[in-house]
Every structure is written in C-alpha cells, then in structure tokens.
Amino acid sequence: MAAGASAVTAQTQNATLRYMPFGDSITEIVCWRSKLWNKLQTTEWASVDFVGSGKTENNCRDTKYDRDNEGHSGFLAIDIANKKQLVGWLQKNPADVITMHLGTNDIVQQNKATTDIIAAFTTLIKQMRDHNPKIKIVVAQIIPLGLGNYNSKVQQLNAAITPWAVQQNSTDSPIWVVDQYTGFSGSSDNRDGVHPNDGGDTKMMNVWYPAIVKAFAAAKAEKTKTAITFTA
C-alpha cells in the first residue's frame, strides 16, 4: 500500500478554558471580575469558565457574570503557601490560567519582610505547577493603599516581583507581570483605602486584560492538537 497525500487538521480537545481569579479581598469583594467577564463577552474568550470555591463580590449589580473565584479576605500569601491551601483549592477547581494579587495582608497585618512574601510566592508557583505543569500565570504588582504608611513596603514588594518572575518563568508555564500600582490612587481609586471603588475596579480590569487574554491564547494553544491523517 503506497502512502498518499496527508491531510492536516486542527482538533481542539477540552476546549473550554478554566480561569481562576486567586488572591485576597482585592480579588474577592470587588467588581473588577464582573467588568472583566463582561468585556470578554464580546471576544473569542466569552466561553471561558471562571472557577473557584467562592462567589462573593461587592454588590456589583450584575446577575449575569460568572462569580466563581478563589479570593479570600484577610488571608496572607505566607499562610496560604505554608498551609498548602491553594493545593486543595486547585484540586477542587482545576485551572488552565490563574491570576494572583497577593501580599497586601502580609504587609498590613503582620509587616512581613519582602523576602518572606516572595518566598511564599515561589511556593505558590510550585503548587500551581504541581497541579498543572502548563498552567499560565498572571501576577500583579499590587495596588497602593490609601491608609497608613504601608506604600513604601508595597513598593518594595512590587520592585521585587519583576526579577522574581523572570527567574520563575518557564516556557511551558509562563508568568506575566502586570503593574496594578502605577496610575492607581490609593485614596481616590479605593472606596476604603484598601479595596477598589468602581473607578478602581475599571482600572484594575484594564490592567489585567491584555495579559489575561495572552494567557488564554497560550492555554488554548496547549489544548489544540494537530492531527495528521495519512491516506492510502
């Protein structure tokens, strides 16, 4: 039997992408997730499934959007890492893409050192990749605060995130860093000095969006396989 022409077709397997918004109250009791979901509805990413164990928000007056998230008010990055809480959350709600905005409570509640927070981030990245070696990760340089004298520590953490992410980056599981600090006012863009108001939610969504859609595209490519059929 002689081999004839080959036909190449693209076949998408498990096409629905699963996205986990992960963090503290700045992921949980906010509305940037609602704004993000609504913006995605006019794009090829309208079917992306937001995942997580919680559905809490901030009275966003939006009954349509996918409220699932893994935001946990008051939680420290260091505690989540050391207690392996993310491991269980990902087991229950697997993800192809994850965003992370963490570190605020480590600074405000316990004045943790930047090096300790970054070490926790490293542990969390390992836990993400142990769950899914090809998970796509978007990490935020966190928003400023409008109370206390915490922003110098916030800036120290944010400055450490970029070189850390470069070190942690991998081809199979890339990390995108987004700057949620620059252009965000801790006083006028937060409703209480910590959590974004409507304008702050819009700013956060607009900063997340370009990196998130790049992560979606990379995750979709992982799910798309090329099948070659040989005909006689």
Domain ranges of the chain: 15-230
Neighbours of 96 (CB within 10 A): 24
Three-class DSSP category at 200 = helix
Question: Are 68 and 50 within 8 A, CB to CB?
Answer: yes
What does each C-alpha distance from 168 to 122, 125, 150, 153 come to in angstroms?
8, 8, 26, 22
- Per residue in 18-51, pLDDT tens? 999 999 999 999 999 999 999 999 999 999 999 9
Report the mean per-residue pLDDT for the chain.
Answer: 91
How confident is residue 225, by pLDDT bands cut at 50, 70 and 90?
low
The answer to whether 121 touches 139, Cβ cutoff 8 Å, is yes
In the CATH hierarchy, which top-level class contains the domain 15-230? alpha beta
Q: How many CB atoms lie within 10 A of CB 60?
A: 18
107 token code pair: 């600074």
Question: pTM for the complete prediction?
Answer: 0.91
